[in-house]
Amino acid sequence: MGVHLFRMISSTPRPALTGIILLACLLACGCIQASGPRDESSTVMPAGPPPIVGSWLSRPPYPDGSQDLYLFKDSGRCDATVVPAAGIPPASEVYLQGQWEATGEDRYLLVGEEITHHFTNDSHTTATVREVLRYDARADRLTRDSDPDHPLERISREATIPPGMNVSIPWD
């Protein structure tokens, strides 16, 4: 039988013999193997900051009204202030300093303290903030449960006060 196999191999044309040997090697290595179904649960998310990170501005409650500016940092810190309406002197300054954390898919909890400086009598008041935020990936928008009619629109993926915006945050 060994002699018969030798005669069969020696009588096979060289290109066909090379192809047969390569095919045998590929089969032996397992390279010709149909891939199985993908496991969707092991999908790797792209690296990068959470979608909440950046600068966000609320829509004004009425035309030419004041707006809220939020800065969500990758570290979990949040700073915010009220941007006064153009040409209207503000009666107070409002600042928020707190921490945010993800509480579920596209949901965040913001906990912190709001400090209001009243200009009329130069006094300060504080209030505890505990706010649930929901991120809408399709619209790239944050909605506050306490004020769903005035969502936050992303103005930058950087958590900084945008150039030309005449506001400051004391501890930023």
pLDDT, position 3: 44
Q: 126 and 92 in contact (C-beta within 8 Å)?
A: no
Phi, psi (degrees; rounded to nearest 5) at 19: -65, -40
DSSP symbols for 35-58:
-----GGGPPPPPS--TT-EEEEE
pLDDT, position 2: 47
Q: What is the residue-level pLDDT of the chain in tens, covering all 172 positions?
A: 444 444 444 555 566 555 556 555 455 555 444 444 444 444 444 568 899 999 999 988 777 788 999 999 999 999 999 998 888 888 899 999 999 999 999 999 999 999 999 999 999 999 999 999 999 999 999 999 999 988 999 999 999 999 888 888 887 5
pLDDT, position 90: 86
pLDDT, position 16: 56
CA distance 96 to 128: 9
pLDDT, position 41: 43
158: DSSP letter: S
pLDDT, position 45: 47
Fold for 54-156, please state it. Lipocalin (2.40.128)
